[in-house]
Structure 1
């Protein structure tokens, strides 16, 4: 490969749900700042019709032909695929990752990576034994916004010493009205707000309260509570406390309330100011504003850093995955295996204190 040539990643897309459609739509959209070339090599679903419909809708106006399959196994066995993107529900992640790994495929698997930390270790052990690349698709961590914000907080210290982060994710599902067949009521699929959306405000807290690298992070103390409807967790509140600094994170999530007009998805407080992160929900940030310390009756003037673009933001994790694979890496330096396990351990502890139990916990 020439020094100026971009690496190419040929993707096999597993499942045709909403998250897969977002991922593919971002990758096929033209852009000038690409760090890699992405080809949607194949689509795999439970039926050929679903794959065809998905490809017709989301893989358009591209200079290549996408293969459609009516099974996952055909994706795993396709020799033209460089990396499998796993977009299935949480409860299937371990199964689908292990199948792809067994076929010798590199894998980018959606968050939450698995149901619990034990499953995550099992997947990474298999990847190590097979010698393939596996990473958790926590797209929030790959955004340039996060690297810039962490630099401002801990190198430039624009708000002094950080002492608290708050973040809340709200989504209206009305669990009580859903049929028993809904994935949102299936515990074996990881039902509940914590794994589905709570991981995002949790990530905001982790990334803004701990200045360490992913391999040199402090494990916070955790205090958590959960509430349930029809046996499904619908609201989680947790406090993260970092003993070495005294920093605290207040993380809340619920599927019982529709988000209001407020566009502040996270707030970071410091001794000399504060930062407000703006966006639709914690998974979709678009900007943040740095404010000086609030000393008057009126809100102080802030400096806004805008990161809005046409794509939703999946391009960053896709680019980094392509670069990792091209470089021969087996882990993502942004989301290494140990960090995915650590986050799963935190959520395991939240569920232990809150009372959420999945069938896989006792497997």
Structure 2
């Protein structure tokens, strides 16, 4: 058996999403790993926070722990920087890591605006480093199987429309004005936080996998409405209109909770329903044929499933790529442009929109 590629990670920020990521990529019970992962360095706003993070989430490891992000960027033993900060800091974090010559995996939403996203990718291209948006759900075997069933096998015939909702009760009213969930300068709002998953599953239901498309991916026409509180979208509803008549509806809400069946794709010969705790972590899907009969597809997922995107990064870098074929730069830009347009129509604004 060929030796699996190994990646040495530098982790930026010690919040919830970073804890999920590091716990997952060091698991030893996951199916068919494509790479191995070393937590090489942790960067936090304070040395003590970094030590507490390691002790709580990855006590079996012995990374270098730094009280600044810059020390992680400059650590010669780090291959890739994982960025788990709030959206508003992603641009700066990416540019700083790229400047140090590091590869980057940056959490979604990649930045606040498409303009910021283009700046990061232009800098990465000039530096010759690998960068990918960490839309982890795209790397799930379930998503790949769903797209094969829909667009290659055409089990439900011609796909005509898709719906997806992601709602989670975040108790935003109780948060202080500087919370990332309440402060527009930090990218607050349901759209960038969770609505991006609704958009992703809706579009993946309507479109074949990127490698199967002929030519550039179509950017559908957008119609959107948002409900705002103090300038922050509590809810967003997006209608996507394709030239051939396909329609998508993607919604998000920060004051409700979606049920277990959060996505459905409708075709000329049946329906596909996606199940799970949330649109970010689908666990199964069921195909219901128009003439009767149904089949449920189940998928094993120890932990949360962040290791699939981490493996993809390792394999891409080993093969000399600077972009992911699953989440290329053009796709990140397309989604950022769609979300910019949603906010333009819906009314949610960030201070960074004027820059």
TM beyond 0.5: yes
User: d(CA) in 2 for partners of 1:219 and 1:210?
Assistant: 11
User: d(CA) in 2 for partners of 1:251 and 1:275?
Assistant: 16
1:290-337 residue CA offsets vs partner (Å, 9 max, x unmatched)? 1101x6xxxx54211111321211111000000111111111111111
Q: Is the 8 A contact 1:175 1:229 kept in 2?
A: no
Matched, 1:291 2:288: yes
Matched, 1:163 2:155: no
State the secondary structure of the residue aligned to 1:304. Answer: strand
Tell me: CA distance 1:221–1:122, structure 2 relative to 1, closer, same or farther (3 Å).
same
Q: Is the 8 A contact 1:8 1:322 kept in 2?
A: yes
Paired residue for 1:315, among 286, 307, 317?
307
1:104-137 residue CA offsets vs partner (Å, 9 max, x unmatched)? 0000000000000000000001101111111100
Of stretches 268-277 and 141-150 in structure 1, the one that deviates more from structure 2 is 141-150
Matched, 1:146 2:138: no
State the secondary structure of the residue aligned to 2:222. Answer: strand
User: d(CA) in 2 for partners of 1:140 and 1:19?
Assistant: 14
- C-alpha deviation, 1:151, in angstroms: 1.1
Q: Is the 8 A contact 1:176 1:230 kept in 2?
A: no
Of stretches 303-312 and 315-324 in structure 1, the one that deviates more from structure 2 is 303-312
1:116-265 pair list within 5 angstroms: 116-211=113-208, 213=210, 216-243=216-243, 245-259=244-258, 262-265=259-262
Question: Where in structure 1 are there 5+ consecutive unaligned residues?
Answer: none
User: d(CA) in 2 for partners of 1:26 and 1:220?
Assistant: 35
Of stretches 175-184 and 341-350 in structure 1, the one that deviates more from structure 2 is 175-184
**Where does residue 345 of structure 2 map in the other structure?**
353
Q: How many pairs were matched up? A: 351
User: d(CA) in 2 for partners of 1:133 and 1:182?
Assistant: 31
Tell me: CA distance 1:145–1:357, structure 2 relative to 1, closer, same or farther (3 Å).
same
**Where does residue 21 of structure 2 map in the other structure?**
23
- C-alpha deviation, 1:147, in angstroms: 1.4
- C-alpha deviation, 1:174, in angstroms: 3.1
- C-alpha deviation, 1:32, in angstroms: 4.6
1:2-26 residue CA offsets vs partner (Å, 9 max, x unmatched)? x700000000000000000010010
Matched, 1:95 2:87: no
**Where does residue 79 of structure 1 map in the other structure?**
76
- C-alpha deviation, 1:212, in angstroms: 5.7
User: d(CA) in 2 for partners of 1:29 and 1:176?
Assistant: 36
- C-alpha deviation, 1:181, in angstroms: 2.1
Question: Where in structure 2 are there 5+ consecutive unaligned residues?
Answer: none
User: d(CA) in 2 for partners of 1:303 and 1:87?
Assistant: 37
- C-alpha deviation, 1:176, in angstroms: 2.8
Shift >6 Å, 4+ stretches: none
TM-score of the superposed pair, with normalisation by structure 1 = 0.94
1:167-221 residue CA offsets vs partner (Å, 9 max, x unmatched)? 1111112333322121211111100000000000100111111226266311101
User: d(CA) in 2 for partners of 1:339 and 1:194?
Assistant: 17
User: d(CA) in 2 for partners of 1:290 and 1:309?
Assistant: 20
**Where does residue 51 of structure 1 map in the other structure?**
50
